[in-house]
């Protein structure tokens, strides 16, 4: 890369001697590079030498160490004109102390004959057999700095010899040496007529100067002298043979050469003077190309003197050429005004002034502007020389001149002015600088050169046909330009130039000239075009962002080509994979195939290659090949009901639905048995436009503990291009899993690459989520082989049984554990009848509480009492048979019972502490025919009409006669019994302490039976029936409201509890007369209707709101005898008066006798009266004729309160 101070750098080639490893060698070169600046004061004086360091002890010799010889031969034509382009020193770094030093030096001299000084630096020398020479050094003997000083001394000596060889040589221009092979500067879009002095060049220069004007603010180049000069030159051209002019030219060129060499040897002041003198003469004789080069030399010396902080004076030739004398104030005012130290524009040492203008001291001028002006002037003369056939500027010189100026400007910009930092950057382009953060912040206003000005200047390069230059020059040009753009922080421009650089490299066949750091360039390109760090396969933000994919794709393609060019296959593989992984949608089928087959697959053995699609596996599922009952996991919860029940206080109408869903989930879980073979269905995707070959599919090491692929050789598939396919892999299970095992991915080998883990990507997310894809975990549970229980037989015929209603029967079931590996030690028997199955799920929704109690109690009975099984064994051994003794009880079974299914859940519990067990089910169906026997066709309740004072044999009468107050405390229940069975049936009623005689009914006979029942007494109850809620059997069913009013609900409760009371007390056991074993009982519940109010009043007197009690003084009187009736009204209501209505009826006709003529009864005249509750009231009547009267008392509107009394009149 072209440094700003390139002319003062001593080109030094560093070569390895011995057996170096790359890293060690590069470290050694870097160590050397740290000593690239040698102060002349440290170098041993050379009194007789032209370049005696003592002459200017402030000076420096600056080395430019190169580890590769680029252009020493191709640039030989420049060695006279720009001597610094020559290779001066060759340093061999030797790490093998045994190698002969002389041999090494000789070898270096042979190989690099063009150099003038050689040195070998040993890391450590072994043995001192050879005489030490001045070219041999050892790091172990002396520090590297001292070695470099000695090398510098040798170099200065050699340079003296080299220079002396030039003393009598006529120095020729590059065009004269190189002839037609030298590339002349070609400016695009400009007509250059070689050798002619037509007006065209001046016009061109005119435009050029205008352009420069635009960028360099106030500095103007005078056109007039040029025109004048060109005229003069045309005349001088004819006199080119003149010896005076030739001598002057020769002298000037010699001076310039000497100045150049002095620049290399650190004698900057003399160098500047010589350059100035040379320029003065060259200007005079119109040798423009050498003049321009001299001006550039002055620029370099000015920078170096500024670096050494040595004051200097601007040579007078600069004054005259750049017209500083006339407009020095205007040129320099911007900086002058800023500098407080500037007292005046005039030089304090006026006496130094030699030519026309006053010499300016460096303290009074804006050095960077001056440097830029001189550099512009040099470029101007280079430009001007292009019209000549021999004395023209080669493109490489022209180009590098621009680059040096650009580098200077950009470094000034980067360092925020022409300061120490900028100077250090110019002198040591590779050196590490400690840069203060303040200096990094660039403020445009404070800068010497604006960004736009520098950029504008850089555009000059694109007026040249750069591609015509040789490759090393092109590389150096583009690298320098990219650094300049980097200094300007124009990273996109930098990337653009780097891309052009790569294109240039690719367009040349040669594989040399590799920049050592071209990986850095690649990294820069990747970063600028946002390829680095853009990972749409991992980051959702990247996947949803838009990028310039065309650019990115092309850049990657270019990088791959460059890497292929340099045979860096690691990069080829890496970037080809990136291209396929992230930009496959922009690639054609051919491109994709080429990338895969030419750039990736051939290198899979040597480099890290992996399949590009991270979402290869989209789904995994399992499928059974055989339909076989799988055991289910059953949780053995002792308090099962509470765990299943919804513990929420609030009724959840969806609770059942919720529970059901959970069951379904359990069914979907993947349960497998050890040694079971199933098919694993894998869904693959192939987003590419080529077929993808899957070589093998297997489980991860963790998964392999539990399962394995049945036949690994059969796991090779081909996924067609741009498709999604399902493939089956046979899988067997090895070992039971301790709990649910999650299968999260598979080990898959694609394209013969080593197997890699691929997770299962169920769904690719696109927006607003954290993860790029939702990973799927396939739950797998593997359990041991389970026992199998098989049904052998029952003692029933064809599993059918016919039962008489209300009876019980026994039978046996024979079972066998047919498993040969596992016993059964868990057995749970349950059953289901058609009654439960036929009920709707929500059968309870519209039922009233009492109906529901009936149904639920029946279901509960079916569930608990219907079947009882004794002799359930604790364990059924391997291949062991057992019998179950089953008792079937149909005493309360409904007539609609048709079948029952006995389900035996069985399993093997490893230990008693197991909380869950895998169970299988065995279901045994039984068909039941229920035959009706004794039925109740009707039930009625009547009050006891008589006191039954006569002695009777009838059991219920005799029973009653033993009781007291039978009329008030007892009622009669009339039951119509029917025998529906084929045989006569004998039976007995029981009600509390009453027991009937054995009755007998023939087949199909119906008869009414009387059972005396005691009325329900309030005092015996802890609370009133109306306050006692109807119980709920199934607590899971909650009621928000029954939909009844309070009084309706109270009535319902009374009816319910009365009926329950009767049902509890009433029993009837029967047996078939001919067969005493055939016995049973009658379940009255299914025959007895709900009680109406009439019945309730009879059965449960406390239900009445009003209770009227009437007693008569006499019930049998003679005609004309008054009868006094005593009435007491009890009521639960808190009221003062209760209305009573009465009517007197003829007992036999039921007709009212109140309006009879003649009157049969005399009464007080009113048929109603008001009475106080709980206060006896007398009521008198006088019967007037013989009759039997029935006197009814009632509370109006409350018919159930009616109380009657009969009076017989004789």
Partner 1 sequence: MFYFTIIGTDDNPIYEAEFSTPKHTFQPEIKELNPYIVHSTLDIMEYLQWQRQPHLELNANSGGFLRSRHNSQENSYLGKVDSFYGLAVSGFLTYGNMKFIMVHGNGIVDDTITRSFFYEVYELYLKTLMNPFYKVNDPISSPAFDSKVRVLSKRLFP
Question: What is the contact surface with partner 1 in residues (CB under 8 A)?
Answer: 188-189, 210-211, 214-215, 217, 444-445, 450-452, 455-456, 459, 462, 485, 490-493, 495-496, 499, 529-530, 545-548, 550-551, 554
Residues 7-40 as b or e (16 or more Cβ within 10 Å = b): bbbbbbbbbbbbebeeeebeebbeebbebbebbb
Cβ of residue 187: shortest distance to partner 1, in angstroms?
12
| CB-nearer residue toward partner 1: 214 or 656 | 214
The DSSP bridge pattern shows strands 670-673 and 707-709 to be unpaired
| Alpha-carbon torsion, ordered 538, 542, 546, 549, to 10 deg | -50
Cβ of residue 460: shortest distance to partner 1, in angstroms?
12
Reduced to 3 states (helix: H, G, I; strand: E, B; else coil), residue 867 is strand
Cβ of residue 372: shortest distance to partner 1, in angstroms?
16
Cβ of residue 530: shortest distance to partner 1, in angstroms?
7
Contact 401, 382 (CB under 8 A): yes
| CB-nearer residue toward partner 1: 183 or 317 | 183
Q: Which two tokens stand for residue 1138?
A: 């209760």
| CB-nearer residue toward partner 1: 210 or 1027 | 210
Cβ of residue 221: shortest distance to partner 1, in angstroms?
16
Cβ of residue 630: shortest distance to partner 1, in angstroms?
51
Q: Which two tokens stand for residue 233?
A: 């030159």
| CB-nearer residue toward partner 1: 451 or 1061 | 451
Per the DSSP assignment, residues forming a β-bridge with 1006 are 978
Cβ of residue 288: shortest distance to partner 1, in angstroms?
26
| CB-nearer residue toward partner 1: 490 or 680 | 490
Cβ of residue 4: shortest distance to partner 1, in angstroms?
23
Q: Tokens 């020389």 identify what position? A: 385
Reduced to 3 states (helix: H, G, I; strand: E, B; else coil), residue 872 is coil
Pick the closest to residue 1189 from 1165, 1169, 1210, 1170 (CA basis).
Answer: 1210
Contact 802, 931 (CB under 8 A): yes
Pick the closest to residue 574 from 610, 525, 520 (CA basis).
Answer: 610
Cβ of residue 529: shortest distance to partner 1, in angstroms?
8
| CB-nearer residue toward partner 1: 452 or 1115 | 452
Cβ of residue 453: shortest distance to partner 1, in angstroms?
8
| CB-nearer residue toward partner 1: 334 or 720 | 334
| CB-nearer residue toward partner 1: 546 or 1148 | 546
| CB-nearer residue toward partner 1: 542 or 765 | 542
| CB-nearer residue toward partner 1: 93 or 212 | 212
Give the separation between CA 622 and CA 726, rounded to whole angstroms: 12
Three-state secondary structure of 735-781: CCCCCCEEECEEEEEECCCCCEEEECEEEECCCCCCCCEEECCEEEE
Give the separation between CA 74 and CA 350, rounded to whole angstroms: 47
| CB-nearer residue toward partner 1: 248 or 547 | 547
Region of 827 please: left (phi>0), alpha (psi -120 to 50) or beta: beta
Q: Which two tokens stand for residue 917?
A: 């067990």
| CB-nearer residue toward partner 1: 498 or 1026 | 498
Cβ of residue 366: shortest distance to partner 1, in angstroms?
17
Q: How far is CA 116 from the centre of its chain?
A: 66
Neighbours of 748 (CB within 10 A): 21
Give the separation between CA 1019 and CA 1017, rounded to whole angstroms: 5
Cβ of residue 764: shortest distance to partner 1, in angstroms?
20
Cβ of residue 767: shortest distance to partner 1, in angstroms?
11
Q: How far is CA 971 from CA 656, 1027, 1105, 1190, 1200, in A?
A: 47, 24, 20, 20, 16
| CB-nearer residue toward partner 1: 492 or 570 | 492
Q: Which two tokens stand for residue 235?
A: 């005349």
- Strand ordering across the sheet containing 1198-1209: 1116-1117, 1198-1209, 1187-1195, 1138-1146, 1168-1171
Cβ of residue 493: shortest distance to partner 1, in angstroms?
5
Cβ of residue 492: shortest distance to partner 1, in angstroms?
5
Sequence-distant contacts of 768-775: CB under 8 A, at least 24 apart: 769/540, 770/540, 771/540, 772/536, 772/537, 772/538, 772/539, 772/540, 772/543, 773/615, 775/744
Q: Tokens 């963790």 identify what position? A: 702
Give the separation between CA 27 and CA 22, rounded to whole angstroms: 9
Pick the closest to residue 392 from 548, 180, 150 (CA basis).
Answer: 180
Reduced to 3 states (helix: H, G, I; strand: E, B; else coil), residue 163 is helix
| CB-nearer residue toward partner 1: 451 or 708 | 451
765 half-sphere exposure, CB direction, 13 A CA radius: 14
Cβ of residue 774: shortest distance to partner 1, in angstroms?
24
DSSP tag of 851: H
| CB-nearer residue toward partner 1: 456 or 704 | 456
Q: Which two tokens stand for residue 1130?
A: 């009890």
| CB-nearer residue toward partner 1: 490 or 1140 | 490
- Phi and psi at residue 1146, in whole multiples of 5°? -75, 125
Give the separation between CA 882 and CA 1060, rounded to whole angstroms: 42
Cβ of residue 489: shortest distance to partner 1, in angstroms?
8
| CB-nearer residue toward partner 1: 186 or 679 | 186
Radius of gyration for the alpha carbons in the chain, expressed in angstroms and rounded: 61
| CB-nearer residue toward partner 1: 468 or 802 | 468
Contact 60, 269 (CB under 8 A): no
Cβ of residue 400: shortest distance to partner 1, in angstroms?
20
């Amino acid at each position: 890369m072209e440094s700003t101070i390139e002319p003062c750098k001593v080109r030094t080639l560093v070569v390895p001697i011995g057996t170096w490893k790359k890293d060690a060698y590069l470290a050694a070169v870097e160590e050397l590079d740290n000593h690239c600046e040698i102060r002349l004061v440290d170098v041993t004086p050379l009194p007789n030498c032209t370049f005696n360091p003592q002459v200017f002890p402030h000076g420096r010799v600056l080395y430019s160490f190169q580890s590769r010889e680029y252009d020493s031969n191709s640039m030989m034509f420049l060695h006279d004109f720009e001597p610094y382009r020559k290779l001066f020193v060759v340093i061999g770094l030797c790490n093998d102390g045994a190698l002969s030093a002389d041999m090494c030096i000789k070898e270096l001299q042979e190989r690099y004959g063009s150099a003038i000084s050689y040195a070998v630096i040993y890391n450590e020398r072994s043995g001192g057999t050879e005489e030490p020479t001045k070219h041999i050094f050892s790091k172990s003997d002396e520090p590297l700095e001292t070695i470099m000083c000695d090398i510098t001394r040798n170099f200065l000596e050699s340079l003296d010899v080299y220079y002396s060889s030039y003393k009598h040589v006529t120095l020729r221009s590059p065009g004269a040496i190189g002839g037609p092979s030298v590339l002349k500067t070609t400016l695009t879009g400009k007509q250059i007529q070689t050798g002619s002095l037509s007006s065209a060049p001046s016009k061109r220069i005119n435009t050029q100067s205008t352009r420069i004007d635009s960028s360099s603010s106030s500095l103007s180049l005078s056109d007039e002298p040029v025109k004048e000069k060109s005229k003069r030159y045309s005349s001088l051209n004819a006199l080119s043979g003149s010896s005076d002019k030739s001598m002057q030219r020769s002298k000037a060129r010699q001076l310039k050469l000497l100045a150049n060499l002095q620049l290399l040897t650190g004698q900057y002041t003399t160098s500047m003077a010589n350059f100035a003198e040379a320029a003065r003469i060259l200007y005079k004789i119109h040798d423009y190309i050498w003049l321009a080069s001299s001006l550039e030399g002055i620029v370099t010396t000015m920078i170096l003197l500024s670096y050494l902080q040595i004051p200097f004076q601007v040579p007078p030739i600069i004054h005259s050429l750049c017209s500083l004398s006339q407009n020095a104030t205007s040129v320099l005012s911007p900086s002058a005004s800023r500098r407080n130290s500037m007292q005046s524009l005039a030089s304090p040492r006026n006496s130094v002034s030699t030519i026309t203008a006053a010499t300016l001291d460096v303290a009074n001028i804006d050095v960077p502007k001056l440097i830029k002006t001189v550099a512009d002037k040099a470029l101007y003369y280079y430009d001007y020389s292009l019209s000549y056939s021999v004395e023209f500027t080669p493109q490489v010189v022209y180009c590098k001149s621009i680059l040096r100026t650009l580098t200077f400007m950009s470094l000034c910009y980067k360092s925020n002015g022409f300061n120490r930092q900028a100077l250090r950057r110019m002198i040591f382009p590779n050196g590490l600088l400690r840069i203060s953060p303040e200096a990094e912040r660039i403020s445009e206003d404070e800068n010497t050169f604006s960004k736009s000005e520098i950029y504008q200047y850089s555009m000059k390069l694109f007026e040249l046909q750069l591609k015509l230059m040789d490759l090393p020059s092109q590389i150096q040009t583009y690298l320098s330009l990219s650094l300049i753009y980097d200094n300007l922080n124009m990273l996109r421009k930098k990337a653009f130039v780097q891309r052009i650089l790569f294109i240039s490299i690719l367009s040349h066949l040669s594989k040399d000239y590799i920049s050592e750091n071209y990986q850095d360039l690649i990294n820069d390109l990747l970063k600028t075009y946002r390829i680095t760090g853009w990972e749409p396969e991992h980051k959702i933000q990247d996947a949803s962002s838009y990028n310039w994919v065309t650019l990115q794709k092309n850049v990657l393609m270019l990088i791959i080509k460059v890497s292929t060019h340099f045979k860096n296959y690691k990069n080829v593989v890496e970037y080809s994979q990136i291209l396929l992984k992230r930009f496959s949608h922009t690639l054609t089928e051919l491109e994709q195939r080429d990338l895969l087959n030419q750039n990736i697959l051939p290198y899979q053995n040597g480099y890290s290659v992996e399949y590009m699609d991270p979402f290869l596996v989209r789904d995994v599922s399992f499928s059974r090949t055989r339909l076989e009952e799988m055991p289910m996991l059953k949780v053995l919860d002792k308090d099962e009901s509470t765990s299943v029940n919804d513990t929420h206080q609030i009724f959840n109408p969806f609770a059942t639905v919720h529970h059901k869903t959970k069951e379904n989930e359990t069914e979907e879980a993947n349960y497998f048995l050890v040694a079971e073979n199933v098919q694993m269905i894998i869904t693959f995707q192939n987003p590419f436009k080529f077929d993808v070959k899957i070589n093998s599919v297997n489980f991860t090491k963790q998964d392999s503990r539990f399962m394995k692929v049945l036949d690994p050789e059969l796991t090779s598939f081909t996924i067609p291009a741009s498709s999604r396919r399902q493939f089956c892999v046979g899988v067997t299970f090895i070992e039971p899993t301790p709990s649910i095992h999650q299968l999260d991915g598979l080990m898959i080998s694609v394209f013969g690459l080593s197997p890699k883990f691929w997770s299962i990507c169920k769904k690719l997310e696109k927006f607003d989520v954290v993860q790029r894809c939702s990973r799927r975990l396939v739950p797998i549970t593997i359990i041991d082989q389970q026992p199998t229980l098989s049904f052998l037989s029952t003692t029933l015929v064809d599993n059918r049984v016919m039962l008489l209603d209300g009876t019980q029967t026994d039978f046996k079931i024979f079972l066998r554990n047919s498993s040969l590996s596992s016993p059964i030690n868990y057995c749970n028997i349950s059953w289901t009848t058609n009654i439960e199955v036929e009920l709707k799920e929500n059968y309870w929704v519209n039922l009233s509480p009492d109906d529901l109690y009936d149904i639920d109690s029946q279901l509960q009975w079916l569930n608990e009492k219907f079947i009882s099984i004794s002799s359930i064994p604790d364990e059924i051994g391997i291949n062991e048979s057992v019998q179950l003794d089953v008792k079937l009880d149909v005493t309360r079974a409904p007539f609609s019972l048709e079948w029952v299914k006995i389900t035996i859940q069985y399993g093997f519990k490893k230990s008693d502490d197991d909380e869950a067990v895998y169970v299988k089910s065995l279901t045994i169906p039984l068909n039941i025919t229920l035959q009706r026997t004794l039925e109740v066709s009707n039930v009625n309740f009547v009050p006891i009409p008589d006191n039954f004072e006569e002695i009777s044999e009838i059991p219920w009468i005799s029973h009653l006669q033993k009781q007291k107050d039978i009329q008030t405390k007892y009622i009669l229940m009339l039951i119509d019994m029917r025998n529906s069975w084929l045989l006569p049936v004998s039976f007995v009623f029981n009600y509390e302490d009453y027991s009937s005689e054995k009755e007998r009914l023939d087949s199909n006979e119906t008869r009414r039976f009387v059972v005396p029942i005691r009325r329900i007494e309030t005092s015996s109850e802890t609370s009133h029936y109306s306050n006692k809620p109807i119980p709920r059997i199934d607590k899971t069913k909650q009621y928000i409201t029954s939909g009844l009013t309070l009084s309706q609900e109270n009535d319902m409760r009374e009816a319910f509890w009365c009926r329950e009371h009767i049902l509890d007390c009433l029993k009837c056991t029967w047996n078939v007369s001919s067969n005493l074993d055939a016995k049973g009982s009658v379940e009255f519940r299914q025959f007895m209707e709900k009680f109406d109010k009439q019945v309730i009043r009879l059965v449960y007197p406390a239900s009445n709101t009003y209770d009227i009690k009437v007693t008569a003084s006499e019930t049998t009187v003679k005609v004309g005898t008054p009868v006094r009736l005593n009435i007491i009204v009890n009521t639960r209501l808190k009221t003062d008066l209760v209305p009573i209505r009465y009517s007197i009826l003829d007992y036999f006709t039921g007709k009212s006798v109140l309006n009879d003529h003649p009157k049969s009864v005399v009464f007080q005249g009113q048929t109603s009266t008001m009475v106080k509750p709980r206060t006896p009231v007398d009521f008198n009547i006088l019967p007037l004729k013989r009759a039997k009267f029935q006197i009814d008392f009632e509370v109006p509107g409350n018919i159930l309160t009616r109380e009657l009394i009969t009076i017989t009149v004789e």
